[in-house]
Amino acid sequence: MRMRSILFGLSASALALSAAASAEDDLTVVPAVPGDFQPERTAWGEPDFRGGWPIDHLNSRVPLERAAEHGNRVFLTEEEFAEKLAQVEALEQRYRNEDTSDSMGIGHWAEMGGASRRTSYIVEPADGRLPAYTAEGKRLSGDMRSSWRRDQHFDWVTDFDSWDRCITRGLPASMFPFMYNNGMRVFQSPGLVAIQLEMVHETRMVYTDGREPVPRKLSGWLGMSRGHWENGNTLVIETTNFQPGPSATNIGTTGSPPQNDTPVSAQAVMTERLTMTGPDSIVYDVTWNDPVVFAAPWTARLDWQRDDDYQMFEYACHEGNVQVRNYITASRAQRAQEGKVAQ
């Protein structure tokens, strides 16, 4: 699996360089999604997206939000990219060092892809940054609880988010790379596309048979998805009915808000466009529109690569998981030492 990650990372670098070259005169241009490829069809006539589409190659230190110094540039300059290559190489060296010393540490735990010239996954707004919170978004964010936050105590399970508790990584987080468990598989049957996720062993069910949406009073951690096909090569998915609440997890990828403090409201709508641009490539666009939380929608783009040899293993998050209890007992002990009463 490790060699697979390295090889696909190098491939991703080549693709990123190619995309940047097309925008050489203006690094602020987001390349258009090619629309001329026509994928093979399933026996029932739909575009065939079935296979392994892990996003481990995207774990290349591309941030969700763009650094302010990059302005509206979608791509790094040649000099900036050279620096990024050196950074990624240093991170990859950790793995080789551990192999040499017959040890296992963060080098084996955190899988790295190849360097990319992208400055951020967010492509809209033009500055590559999340829109401002609304007043209600700020209030909801302040109510969130998570082990990622350092400004709270821990006294019960409700002080942890849904990812801490091995329930779900949630959306849109599950569609973005993390340092491990980036496997995805697509399955299809007539009227249904299923997207299997390695992290938290979840499967998204996307119905493409034209059925009506479910009532908004019914909700789920991954929402309720409906899909349709456009132009013979694009799967469009609209997901609504998200489970709101202070323990809902946030985006949770490199360069996202660091304290898992991005809430989800019941009015959130997630629109995804999966366009097959070749037999082994998909351009993935996602627009997140939550008017309760954000002052405007935002859109991100990721490039998927087929890897049918990727192996997905059981995500046994609960097995031997004592960290929730440890956080609580340690927090209570600290407050007792400081003379504070547990709440």
Q: Note whether residue 17 is domain-resident.
A: yes
Structural domain includes residue 343? no
Query: What pLDDT is stored for residue 16 in this prediction?
Result: 44
Predicted TM-score (pTM) of the model is 0.88
Residues 275 and 233: their CA atoms lie apart, in Å, by 6
Does 207 map to a domain? yes
Q: How many CB atoms lie within 10 A of CB 19?
A: 18
Q: Which residue has the higher pLDDT, 106 or 300?
A: 300
| Whole-number pLDDT of residue 259 | 64
Calpha distance 237→228 (Å, rounded): 7
**Which band of pLDDT confidence, cut at 50, 70 and 90, is reported for residue 182?**
very high
Name the domain count of the chain: 1
The reply to whether 117 falls in a domain is yes
Q: Would residue 197 count as lying in a domain?
A: yes
Say if residues 310 and 4 touch (Cβ distance below 8 Å). yes
- Give the whole-angstrom CA distance, residue 308 versus residue 284: 18
Per-residue confidence (pLDDT) for residue 233, from 0 to 100? 93
Judge whether 342 lies within some domain: no
**String of b and e for 162-192 (b: at least 16 CB within 10 Å)?**
bbbbbbbbbbbbbbbbbeebbbbbbebeeee
pLDDT for 7 beyond 70: no
Query: 135 lies in which domain range?
Result: 2-337
Q: The tokens of 104 are what?
A: 């296992």
Q: E strands, the chain, where?
A: 51-52, 122-124, 184-189, 192-197, 202-207, 224-230, 234-240, 269-278, 281-289, 298-305
328 pLDDT exceeds 60? Answer: yes
pLDDT of 276 higher than 90: yes
Taking the alpha carbons of 241, 130, 161, 342 in that order, is the dihedral positive or negative? negative
Token pair of 67 as six digits: 């650094």
**For 293, phi and psi rounded to 5 degrees?**
-100, -45
Q: For the residues 28-38, what does the mean pLDDT come to?
A: 94
Q: How far apart are CA 291 and CA 119, in angstroms?
A: 26
- pLDDT, residue 251, reads 66
CA–CA distances in Å: residue 317 to residues 109, 131, 180, 223, 338:
15, 33, 13, 22, 33
Q: What is the mean pLDDT of residues 295-317?
A: 94
Closest CA relative to residue 221, chosen from 294, 159, 172, 160: 172
Confidence check: pLDDT of 17 > 50: no
Report whether 253 contacts 177 (CB < 8 A). yes
User: Which residues, 6+ apart, have CB-to-CB distance to 230 below 8 Å?
Assistant: 236
Please answer whether residues 183 and 198 qualify as being in contact, where contact means their C-beta atoms are separated by less than 8 angstroms.
Answer: yes
- With 50 as the cut, is the pLDDT of residue 21 above it? no
Residue 92 has pLDDT above 80, yes or no: no
